[in-house]
Structure 1
Amino acid sequence: MYSTAAALTMCLGAASAKAETELTFVWHAGTCADALLEIAKDYPDESVTIVPALVPYGPEWHNKIASEFAIKGDGFDFAMWDSQSTAEFAGGGHAVKINDIFDSSDVLSSEIFPAASLSQYGEYPDNSGDFYGLPMNQDAYGLMYRQDLFDDPEEQAAFKEKYGRDLTVPETYQEAKEVAEFFTRPDEGLYGWGQMGGREYDFATTASNSFLWSFGGELYNPETYEVLGYLNSPASIDGVQAYVDMFEYGPPGSGSWGFDEVNAAFQQGQLAMAMQWFYFNGSNADPAVNKFAESTSFGILPGAIGRDGKFRRQFSVGGQGMGINKYSQKLPELVKFMEWYFQPEQQERYAAVCQTGLKAVLESDDWQGLNSYNAQFSTALQYLNDYWHLPEYPVLLDQLQEEISNAITGSKTVEEALTDAAKKHERTLQRAGYEISRSDSTPEVPDQEITPVGQDQVVPVN
């Protein structure tokens, strides 16, 4: 009897020595989630364990978070969500306001993150100074290209003879179209350009928006909530038409691609250039993954010269912010973990494989010189733009995805697709209670009115 009781006591003692608190997070599976888990193994408080609830990238990931919030559940304690989802989750009252943590913490503050990044990944409403997320995993669209093709003297001579200029990494989409056309050689299994166009989640629109903004278009007027005249403005049509036209220089079927297909085609040597997230540069620079890694270079996406003669370079922000479930019962333990995790020592480890949001690491020479693309990423951060920061984002996204897909397949012209999307968006906003203040006229190039970034000359960065 004594021995049984003693054994039971020993078991209970052993159990109490194990983790007493589990902090569960939701994210999409991948390199960055793996990095978080690996780093968390060294968290000094052994009574706390970080537990993953990972799902594939796409709607399932968003829906897992949204469904838990819908029942005000505590099935997870924190989550990484897209920047656009902050409005939905914070606007619904489901996320912890980070300002309160900044006020009480000796470690966490707004000053340790770049102001623009903190705003993009956590501020709601825009320009309010209220934050509901931290820049956990920054990302941006970038350009990858075959340096060996660009450096080949015969290719350089042939390009110059055909186009009357040197073969260089494109700074504008007008230049990119020429380079893509030049390298498109189906008989050789080579194509000039790869980009996403899939109907799933945000595949097509993160790409098309990058063209739209660079040509001076806008998704809507955030002051008046007008969409008609903005999303289907002449400049917006120019941008999305340029995006659709680039599929001519990609492999057959590339209009339905996601990021995996872009990576595979590039790694197999089918593409001279590709539009891809910086998130994937680590694998695309790895000879074990990409047999052309040694001749792969990374750069900044082109901009465009708009119909007003102004040069603009804007592209989609990627990555995720870290938000806290308001219904979690473990906020004190989570804040302590965050105070440890967002220190430079941990973020340097994270930044070795992903893109940190900690200013001290981003600005360090060691990090910028760590690989062949970190320095470009730091430059790319200044050109980021985003979708609507509105709670209705999921509906607006699906409507725009549908219509951009219609333009890609040719079932509608670009103008028809954008006009139909604009009408759907205005109906969605009106049903949600927004009052649309109709202007007497709308600008041909909406960027001139909304967030002017046009410059008189092309600003080279590659």
Structure 2
Amino acid sequence: MIRSLSRVKRSRIVAGLGAALTVTLLATACTGGSSTPSTAAAKPTELRMLYTTDEANSAAVASLVPQFKEKFGIDLKIDNQPYDALQQKVFSEFASSSSYYDIVVVDTPWAPALVQNLEPLSQYIQNDALNPGSPQSNVGDFIPKVFYDTAVYNADSPIKRYPDPTAKPDVSAIKNAGFDVYGMPIQSNVAVMAYRSDLFNDPTQKANFKAKYGKDLTVPKTWDDYAQVAGFFTQPDKKLYGTTAMAGVGDWATDDFKTLLASYGGDGTLADESGKPAFNTPEGTQALDYYAKLAQSGHVPPGSTSADWGTTAESFGSGLTAMTINYHDLKLADNVNGGTIGYAPVPTAKAAGPHFGTWMLSVNKNSKNKEWAYQAISWLTAAEQQTTMTAKSLHPSRASVFAGIKSDNPLAPFYDTLGKSLAVGVGRARLTNYTEVSHEVAVAVNNAATGASSPSDALKSASDKVSALLKSAGY
């Protein structure tokens, strides 16, 4: 989802990695095997967890290690790896059927290729002895869309999605529908809009907007209003641009496009459950046409056609733009005098569809300590621990944690927007080669944004290439 702010080369680095290692994974997926959990499993002296770095807030998780030791009497050893190294290590560990790590963190683009190597958790969740004080790990408290998008799979057909992603999570219903639970969501990311609330509340700005457009200046709720407000706040005399675009070739561009695609009524996952591309449509053309015009409008900073998540965050944080869309709370530099930040859901057209993706903690099917690994991930993702980790800006995955955030919390406006946005988010297609698919879509977005291709031609070219990729992957 949406992870590091400095992975401009990520898509190119790992574009072939998933395809190369997926073949090996599919060949070795059944070697670990699952067995009925034992409530009398011997307690290990330590559990090993493979985790990422800032992409999923490693500092927040690390802060709980002493409490974990006090609670369970087990040392939790965390091996932190930056995104690219982590992805390669996760795939390699499973390809070799290694039992070294008991717990692995999984990003949603990888899950379809990995799911057969993850321990199915329904029999653990429904075992009361393994859930002391938290019957069935209280899975019903997870935000439904987050839980189903992140953790619920049919391992024999990972492309399938749970039929009702808004239903309150219930393990029995999940099993009856032919699915299982393969992890516990821990860090939930979704596109949100940040804006300079000091500028929106400035009497002069408000008066000038009213004089120019004949209506009040408000935080935009539609994409048409967003473009208009971006144009208004592009004020060269103040070295100010209206908003940002991250149209460089990478996941960031794909994520921007799929948010718009879903918003205009298209399939924001980019591919349907039959493994066919779903973005070369009238809605897709409309979405990309909007994005290309925004990128070429002069209302975004120079260099936006090579920008990524980090670039846009820096542009907004330095006071260069009045608005931005990103995936985490932002800060303004000290030299942005009097600057304040507000948050709101990304604008809509016909529907809400902000791109989202969540990291989950999963049990390695090859682990020799599965029962204790399950209890560890259940504890780490429980509401009490997630609430504690919000002090370090964790993005919760449980509804009760969002509901319990107090109004005096400095990040209360961000968390309020984050929770509302997660409830309507749209995830990725469940493809074993999603990284390669995303790359081709990002190229199309960049070509349209730079004017190298028309939006319709860019999407047709990308759709043809994606069709070939999906066919080669067996869809």
What's the counterpart of residue 194 of structure 2?
144
Whether 1:117 aligns to 2:138 is: no
What CA distance in whole angstroms lies between the structure 1 residues aligned with 2:120 and 2:402? 25
Q: Which amino acid aligns with 2:123?
A: D
Of 346, 351, 355 in structure 2, the residue corresponding to residue 301 of structure 1 is 346
Of 351, 357, 361 in structure 1, the residue corresponding to residue 397 of structure 2 is 357
| SS of corresponding position for 1:320 | strand
What's the counterpart of residue 29 of structure 1?
54
What CA distance in whole angstroms lies between the structure 2 residues aligned with 1:269 and 1:365? 28
Residue 213 of structure 1: CA displacement? 1.2
Whether 1:260 aligns to 2:310 is: yes
What's the counterpart of residue 124 of structure 2?
101
Q: Provide the aligned C-alpha RMSD in A.
A: 2.5
Of 74, 78, 82 in structure 2, the residue corresponding to residue 56 of structure 1 is 82
Q: TM-score, normalised by structure 1?
A: 0.80
Residue 187 of structure 1: CA displacement? 4.2
Residue 170 of structure 1: CA displacement? 0.4
What's the counterpart of residue 162 of structure 1?
212
Choose 347-356 or 170-179, whichever is displaced more. Answer: 347-356
What CA distance in whole angstroms lies between the structure 1 residues aligned with 2:461 and 2:266? 16
What's the counterpart of residue 322 of structure 1?
361
Written as runs of structure 1 = structure 2, the 5 A alignment for 1:192-271 is 192-200=242-250, 202-218=251-267, 220=270, 222-227=272-277, 230-247=278-295, 248=297, 249-271=299-321
Percent identical among aligned pairs is 24
Given that 1:98 and 1:131 are in contact with CA atoms closer than 8 Å, whether structure 2 keeps it comes out as: yes
What CA distance in whole angstroms lies between the structure 2 residues aligned with 1:157 and 1:359? 40
Written as runs of structure 1 = structure 2, the 5 A alignment for 1:169-180 is 169-180=219-230
What CA distance in whole angstroms lies between the structure 1 residues aligned with 2:345 and 2:402? 17
Q: Which amino acid aligns with 1:362?
A: F
Q: Which amino acid aligns with 1:182?
A: F
| SS of corresponding position for 1:322 | strand
Q: Which amino acid aligns with 1:214?
A: S
Q: Which amino acid aligns with 2:112?
A: A
Q: Which amino acid aligns with 1:35?
A: A
What CA distance in whole angstroms lies between the structure 2 residues aligned with 1:303 and 1:66? 37
Change (3 A) 1:161 1:288: closer
What CA distance in whole angstroms lies between the structure 1 residues aligned with 2:49 and 2:207? 57
Change (3 A) 1:139 1:132: same
Q: Which amino acid aligns with 1:351?
A: T
Given that 1:267 and 1:290 are in contact with CA atoms closer than 8 Å, whether structure 2 keeps it comes out as: no
Change (3 A) 1:46 1:323: closer
| SS of corresponding position for 2:104 | strand
What CA distance in whole angstroms lies between the structure 2 residues aligned with 1:113 and 1:390? 24
Choose 359-368 or 406-415, whichever is displaced more. Answer: 359-368
Residue 430 of structure 1: CA displacement? 2.1
Residue 386 of structure 1: CA displacement? 1.3
Residue 268 of structure 1: CA displacement? 1.1
Larger Rg: 1
